[in-house]
C-alpha cells in the first residue's frame, strides 16, 4: 500500500537519526545459491529458480519473524524484488517490516554488474527502472539500493561509476524514494586506500551538484583510513552513510566499523553468519541475536 507523506517523513527521520543498522537481505539470483549453501540448504533441495527463491524467502522470513529482529536495533532492511513481491504471515513483506517490526523497507533495484573496464564494474542498464520504482512506491518501499564495484584506483573508472550512480539516483529521487548509492571498493584491491580517496572526491563533487531537496544515502566499503567519510556523513544532502561488510568476517567488519563513528552497518553475510536452517528456534534466535548485538554495538 502506498505510504502517505507523514509515514515517509517518520521513516526518513528514523534512517537519518535512529540508533541501529540496516539489514541487507537482498541476495539476488547470482548470490542466492552460495547464501543458501552457507545456511545449510544445498542445491539438491531445489530443482529450479522458483524453488530456490522459495527457499531463500523461507530463510528471510525466519530472520524477519525472529524475536531478535526488530526496531530496537534494526533501522531498515534491504529486500530483493521477489521478496518485495512475496508475503510474510499473509502480509506484503514491506508492510510486515514496517507495521510489525518498525523496520524501514528498501529495495535492491540494480540488475547486476557489467564486465570490468577501467578497473571498475558499472551497473548493467535498467530499462524498466521507472516501472519498478512505481511498483515499489505502491508496495510501501521507502528507498532503494544499487551496487557498482571498484577494483582499482583508476580515476576515469571511478568517475564513471559515481556519475552513473548519481544519475540513476536522481531518477529514484524523482520517483519519491531515497536511493542508497553503493560504489563498493573491493576489500582485496591492492590499491584500496588510493581508490577510496578518489571515490570520496567524486562523491563530494556529485553531492555538491545536487538540488537542496535531493536526499541520498551512501553505502560504502569500510575505509582503510578510519573516519575518511565523516564529512560525507555531514553533507546536507546525505541522509546516512552505511557500511557494507564486503567479505570481512562479522568480528572483523564490526571491529573496523567501530573505528568509523559516523557510519552504521548494512551487513548481509555478516548478519547471517552461523545461521543454519536445521537449528531449533531457540538456537536460531540466539545466534541471530548475537550477530545483531555485535553489529548494533559497532554501529553506535
Residues belonging to the active site: 182, 219
Three-state secondary structure of the chain: CCCCHHHHHHHHHHHHHCCCEEEEECCCCCCHHHHHHHCCCCHHHCCCHHHHHHHHHHHHHHHHCCCCCCCCCEEEEEECHHHHCCEECCEEHHHHHHHHHCCEEEEECCCCECCCECCEECECCCCCHHHHHHHHHHCCCCEEEEEEEECCCCHHHHHHHHHHHHHHHHHHHHCCCEEEEEEEECCCCCCHHHHHHHHHHHHHHHHHCCCCCCCEEEEEECCCCCCCCHHHHCCCCEEEEEEECCCCCHHHHHHHHCCCCCCEECCCHHHHCCCCCCCCHHHHHHHHHHHHHHHHHHHC
Under 8 Å between Cβ of 36 and 54: no
Q: Measured between alpha carbons, how far is 250 from 267 in angstroms, rounded to an integer?
A: 9
- Sign of torsion over alpha carbons 136, 87, 74, 29: negative
Contacts of 148 (CB under 8 A, 6+ apart): 113, 120, 121, 122, 123, 161, 164, 165, 182, 183, 184
Amino acid at each position: 500500500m502506498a505510504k502517505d507523506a507523514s509515514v515517509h517523513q517518520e521513516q526518513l527521520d528514523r534512517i537519518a537519526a535512529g540508533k541501529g543498522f540496516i539489514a541487507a537481505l537482498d541476495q539476488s539470483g547470482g548470490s542466492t545459491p552460495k547464501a543458501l549453501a552457507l545456511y545449510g540448504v544445498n542445491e539438491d533441495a531445489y530443482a529450479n529458480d522458483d524453488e530456490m527463491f522459495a527457499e531463500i524467502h523461507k530463510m528471510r522470513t525466519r530472520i524477519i519473524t525472529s524475536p531478535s529482529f526488530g526496531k530496537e536495533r534494526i533501522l531498515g532492511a534491504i529486500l530483493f524484488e521477489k521478496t518485495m513481491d512475496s508475503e510474510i504471515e499473509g502480509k506484503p513483506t514491506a508492510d510486515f517490516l514496517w507495521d510489525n517490526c518498525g523496520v524501514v523497507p528498501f529495495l535492491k533495484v540494480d540488475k547486476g554488474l557489467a564486465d570490468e573496464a577501467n578497473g571498475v564494474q558499472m551497473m548493467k542498464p535498467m530499462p524498466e527502472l521507472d516501472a519498478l520504482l512505481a511498483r515499489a512506491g505502491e508496495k510501501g518501499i521507502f528507498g532503494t539500493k544499487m551496487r557498482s564495484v571498484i577494483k582499482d584506483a583508476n580515476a576515469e573508472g571511478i568517475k564513471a561509476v559515481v556519475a552513473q550512480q548519481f544519475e540513476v539516483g536522481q531518477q529514484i529521487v524523482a520517483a519519491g524514494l531515497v536511493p542508497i548509492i553503493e560504489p563498493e571498493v573491493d576489500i582485496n584491491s591492492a590499491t584500496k586506500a588510493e581508490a577510496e580517496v578518489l571515490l570520496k572526491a567524486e562523491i563530494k563533487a556529485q553531492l555538491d551538484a545536487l538540488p537542496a531537496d535531493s536526499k541520498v544515502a551512501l553505502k560504502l566499503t569500510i575505509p582503510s583510513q578510519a573516519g575518511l567519510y565523516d564529512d560525507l556523513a555531514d553533507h546536507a544532502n546525505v541522509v546516512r552513510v552505511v557500511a557494507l561488510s564486503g567479505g570481512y568476517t562479522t568480528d572483523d567488519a564490526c571491529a573496523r566499523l567501530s573505528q568509523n563513528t559516523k557510519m552504521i552497518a548494512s551487513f548481509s553475510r555478516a548478519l547471517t553468519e552461523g545461521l543454519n536452517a536445521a537449528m531449533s528456534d531457540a538456537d536460531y534466535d540466539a545466534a541471530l541475536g548475537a550477530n545483531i548485538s555485535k553489529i548494533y554495538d559497532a554501529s553506535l
